[in-house]
Each structure stands twice: as C-alpha cells, then as structure tokens.
Amino acid sequence: MARILITSALPYINGIKHLGNLVGSQLPADLYARYMRQRGHEVMFICATDEHGTPAELAAAKTGEDVAEYCARMHDVQAELAEGFRLSFDHYGRSSSARNHALTQHFAGKLAENGLIEEVSEKQVYSHADGRFLPDRYIEGTCPNCGYDKARGDQCENCTKQLDPTDLINPRSAISGSTDLEVRETKHLYLRQSLLKDEIDRWIDSQTDWPILTTSIARKWLHDGDGLQDRGITRDLKWGVPVKKGDADWPGMEGKVFYVWFDAPIEYIAATAEWADANGKSDADWERWWRTDKGGNDVRYVQFMGKDNVPFHTLSFPATIMGSREPWKLVDYIKSFNYLNYDGGQFSTSQGRGVFMDQALEILPADYWRWWLLSHAPENSDSEFTWENFQASVNKDLADVLGNFVSRVTKFCRSKFGEAVPAGGTFGPAEEALIADLTPRIRAYEAHMEAMEIRKAAGELRAIWVAGNEYLQSAAPWSAFKTDPETAAAQIRLALNLIRLYAVLSRPFIPDAAASMLAAMQTRDDSWPDDVPAALAALPSGHAFTVPDVLFRKITDEEREGWQEKFAGARV
C-alpha cells in the first residue's frame, strides 16, 4: 500500500468556476484519488479556495460585502458545487485560514534567514480617489503602440505588447475611473529566485517522467530571455497575509500583505493542517504527509493543474520550499492540462461565456458531465466542448452502451428467471472468450489510470462496456431461452456479474451510476478485479437483485438546441 498526496490547483474565490476550470485540475485529480483509494492506497486529497488579492476585494465591493464575508460565502458556494460534482476531497480549505497565515509568515522568515529575500524600492501608481496603490492590471489607458483605449498597465490585449503603467497615454484607475493618479515610491520584498536557478534546473531535469507540457513550460521560463527572475512577493493591499518574519514584525513592511501567488501554494500544506484540526488529529498527522523528516519520504506527491499554473508550481513554489532549507516534501509528478474551449471560442469567467458548474448541475446530474469532461480531457492539446459532441457522447456511451446493457440484462432476467441470479449450466466458448478478452483490457485500464492517461483510460473503460454488449448481442439469451433455458441462465448469470464489475471499474468516472449499479445488484462487494474469472463469479446463483431506474437518459435534439442557444452569450 502506497501513500499518495494529491493536490488540485486552488480555484480563485471571485465567482463560480466554468467547466474548463473543472476539467483542468479538480476533476482529473478526483478521478486519480478515487482510483487510488479503490486500489487500497492511503490517499490525502487536498484543495482549497484561493482568497487573497485585488480581484477578491473588487468582487466583494461589487456585491457590497466586506471582503472577508464575501470570501466566506463564496467558499461555501464552491464547496457545495464541488460536492455536487462528487469531488472527494479529504479537505477543502481556505487560503485565508489562520494555518496559512502562520505557514506563509514562517516560510518568509526562513527565506529571509537564508538570504533569499531582498527589499526593493520601486515606483508604482497611486490612485488618490481609491486611496491605494494600483496593481498594473487595474490601470487602463491608451496603448502607445496601437492606440487601443482600454489597454491595461501590464499588456495591451489588442496588440499584445507588454507595457508598464507609465507607458499608457491618459491612464486611469480601472476601479474608479479616476485620472487623479501619481507615481509614488514604495518598498517591496522580492524572492531571489535567480539564486536558486541552478538548483531548480537540476531538479526539473531529474523529472524524466513528467508530461512534456509541464517540463517544456518550466524550461521556457528557466532559459528563455533573461532566465529565472527574482519575483515580488508583497503588495500594498489590505486583504491578505500580513507581512511578518514568522511571529516577528518586518520593519518597513507595515500595512503590506504577501502576494497571493506566494501564499496560495503554501495553502496545500496549510489545508492538510486544517484537515488535522477539523478531525481532532495532531500536527504529526499532517506533518507525515509534508515533512520528509517525519514520514514524508514515503509519500508520492502528485499535483493537477492547468498549463497557466505550471510556472508557479515548477519554479516559484519549489523555490519557496527549497529556499527554506527545511525538509518539506517537493512534488513528485505534475499532471498539467491544456485548455478546454467552448463551442468555437473560449470559456471566460470575466465575460460569463460557457457553462458554469452551477448551471451544469441544474441541467443534468454530475455523472453526465464527469464522463464527457474526463473522456475529452485536454491532455495533449486544447479540446473543445460542443453541444453536439456532448449529446452524442452521452447518448452513445452512457445511454446506449452502459445504461442499455444494465437495463436489458436485469429486465430480461426478471421476466424469465425472477429477481435472483439464475444458476444455469457451465460457461461455453463464448463466455470463456469474453473473460479472456476482459483480462488484458482491465490490466490496460489499470495501467492508463496509474499513468494518469485519462482519455486512454476512458477509452479502455468504454471498450470494456462495449465487450459486454457485443457478447450479449451475440449470445442472444432471449433466443437461447426458447430452446435451452440452462444456457440462457448461464449467460445471464455472467451478464449480472458484469454489471457488478462495471460498477467497480466505472466508479472513478461515474460514482453515482456505479453506486446505483451496486445497489441494484444488492451487494457491497466492491473489491477490485485482480482475478477477473473470480470477479465474474462474485454474485452466486440465488443472489437477489433489483431492476434499477434508468441509469442515463438520452438528450433530445430539442434540449440540445435549447441549451446551445441559452449558453451562447454572456452569463446573466
């Protein structure tokens, strides 16, 4: 039995996430966590809401709430939606927690002790109307390169030119619209990542089994241009982790907070500590996952994230861990994803374009979405959600292949043999051939799941479902029953055991349907099919079952057209 620590990139607090966010981190992480638990491993699956930074303050201001109240409310909303999608976190924490405050300040203190923090004086734009320094992205003006009048202080979205706020013509606050701005000098702390470049470079090079997407992004940041740069880790904001060296004040840094991208990854550790607190456990119980001097050496740590998060997890967070010179656990594998696009364009939280998690669950149960998203996960390239593809996949894979098999087998057995597994005779060549075919397929499915090859795993699982359908169609027990009831009974006995097997194998992808199948077979035996012939004899003759409700209904053309029209524009 292995010990596996799994973290999913933290969803930001300012609103409900869309399906692209879901499939880029949380959902595949849940698939892997569920599978590893089924195989008997000890799993710690951690996520949390990322709550600090200017966007959280602005989102709260729009609703008229105090930022702390807003974040608490939105945490509960996101946690409820995570439960709705059956995300099986061991703990869903908050980056604003006391644990994260203390750990963030601890790491900053250690980095300072080790000469890896530098105070830098820099000039930033101050808005008198807003009474605050403005982050670059909250300054707007006219681009000096193309004349676009809504260019941001960090980049012009029209011509993509990188900018500084002082480059803008007629700059104004994106918060209030005020032009009463001035450039002021302020001091900030910088993490001296450049001093750790060689150490990080060697560490990245040692990860020979990581996805190319992950390592290529990391190496680009390490080697292109001027290489790994020192990074500011403080901001002139009110909402965030106050700047301290451990428990001590940091002279000159009064009123400042740590940059959200410094404290957010530390929340992985803090959320595990929150799990211990919530479950009446000791510090030793969470430290055994994170401290290599307290058991963490035996842990395999896997992170899941979209490709936009890769630089922070391959460079900045490891720099924090390494630079502390304390025995913290570094990630062993980073599973990164490309983008899921929406119906010819992009999902967009800011523009409300696409299907969001709450809307999805209002339309259909979680398993429908889980299956499509995972079977179309954007692993090797961007993928695209279209309503036509979604309808076809649900109708063919879930309704026609899996759901139809369960319905036909149980209803036929009830009508001819009653609601108990029939005895029948011994298996013939067709049954033995099916069992022989399923064994290598299940082993291949296991290999894909362990390698986190999600689309390949989904394809193999579907092939396993199809094999049962093809057997049933070929064996035709409804015809055999007329002349040879014993043979028909044996065929149905095998098919009922296939339903139990499908429930076990399918649970990581479609947990609710899997639970329904097991309940219909009236068994709690969810043991993994290490021995396939034995697994297909788990339900003996005489074992009672019930006919379940329809597992998956088909999506009609009218529904698809209605949803396509409803979600074509911005969310209202």
- What Cα–Cα distance (Å) separates residue 18 from each residue in 56, 361, 416? 17, 12, 47
Q: Which of 302, 256, 241 is CA-nearest to residue 25?
A: 302
Dump pLDDT digits (tens) for 307-335.
999 999 999 999 999 999 999 999 999 99
185 burial (CB, 10 Å; 0-12 / 13-18 / 19+) is exposed
Nearest to 117 by CA among 291, 236, 250: 250
CA-to-CA distance for 366 and 488, rounded, in angstroms?
36
Burial of 183 (0-12, 13-18, 19+ CB in 10 A): exposed
Q: How far apart are CA 481 and CA 427, in angstroms?
A: 15
Distance of CA 462 to the CA centre of its chain: 22
pLDDT tens string 107-136: 999 999 999 999 999 888 999 998 888 888
C-beta neighbour count of 50 within 10 angstroms: 24
- Is the pLDDT assigned to residue 361 strictly greater than 60? yes
Considering only residues 453 and 351, tell me which one the structure prediction assigns the higher pLDDT: 453
Q: Give per-residue pLDDT as tens, 375-395.
A: 999 999 999 999 999 999 999
For residue 29, what are the CA distances in angstroms to 65, 108, 322, 340? 32, 29, 25, 16
Across 397-422, average pLDDT: 98
Q: Kind and range of the H or E element at 519?
A: helix 511-520
Enter the tokens of residue 513: 């349907």
Q: Is the predicted pLDDT of residue 91 greater than 60, yes or no?
A: yes
Residue 315 DSSP one-character state: I
Q: Model's pTM, two decimal places?
A: 0.94
Q: How far is 466 from 437, CA to CA, in rounded Å?
A: 12
Token digits of residue 331: 């990630």
Cβ-proximal residues to 197 (8 Å cutoff; 6+ apart), any chain: 222, 227, 228
Query: What SS3 class is residue 521?
Result: coil
Phi, psi values for residue 152, rounded to 5°: -90, 165
The CA distance from 92 to 176, in Å, is 34
Does the annotation flag 146 for ligand binding?
yes
Whether residue 432 is predicted with pLDDT greater than 70 in this model: the reply is yes
The C-alpha angle with vertex 12 and arms to 361 and 95, in degrees rounded to 5, equals 120
**In this structure, are residues 330 and 5 in contact, taking their beta carbons and an 8 Å threshold?**
no
The CATH architecture of the domain made up of 117-191 is Beta Complex (2.170)
Q: So where are the chain's domains?
A: 3-114+193-337, 117-191, 369-535
Whether pLDDT at 353 is above 90: no
Q: How far apart are CA 397 and CA 375, in angstroms?
A: 10
CA-based torsion, 200, 201, 207, 213: positive or negative: positive
Identity of the amino acid at 113: E
Q: Was domain 369-535 assigned CATH 1.10.730.10?
A: yes
| 161-175, 426-440, 464-478, 480-494: segment of lowest average pLDDT | 161-175
Q: Which H helix or E strand runs over 434?
A: helix 429-450
pLDDT at position 253 over 80: yes
Residue 571 clears pLDDT 60, i.e. is over it: no
> Has 156 been labeled as part of a binding site?
yes
pLDDT of 570 above 70: no
What confidence tens digit (pLDDT) does each residue in 153-172 have?
888 878 877 788 888 999 99
- Residue 572 pLDDT grade (very low, low, confident, very high; cuts 50, 70, 90): very low
Token pair belonging to 294: 């307290």
Is the pLDDT at 272 greater than 60? The verdict is: yes
**Mean pLDDT of all residues belonging to the chain:** 95
Nearest CA-CA partner of 504 in 482, 532, 472, 545: 532
At residue 488, φ and ψ (nearest 5 deg) are -60, -40
159 is in an annotated binding site: yes
Q: Which residue, among 247, 237, 245, 279, has the nearest Cα to 93 in the 3D structure? A: 279
Percent helix / strand / coil, the chain, rounded to 5: 50, 15, 35
Q: Which residue has 């799941």 as its token pair?
A: 449
Structure tokens at 565: 């029209």
**8 Å CB contact between 352 and 571:** yes
Average pLDDT on 46-53 reads 97
Instruction: Give yes or no for residue 279 having a pLDDT over 80.
Output: yes
Phi-psi region of 58 (alpha: psi -120 to 50; beta: other; left: phi over 0): alpha
Structurally, at CATH architecture level, domain 3-114+193-337 sits in: 3-Layer(aba) Sandwich (3.40)
Averaged pLDDT, 400-425: 97
Give the Cα separation of 176 and 58 in Å (integer).
11
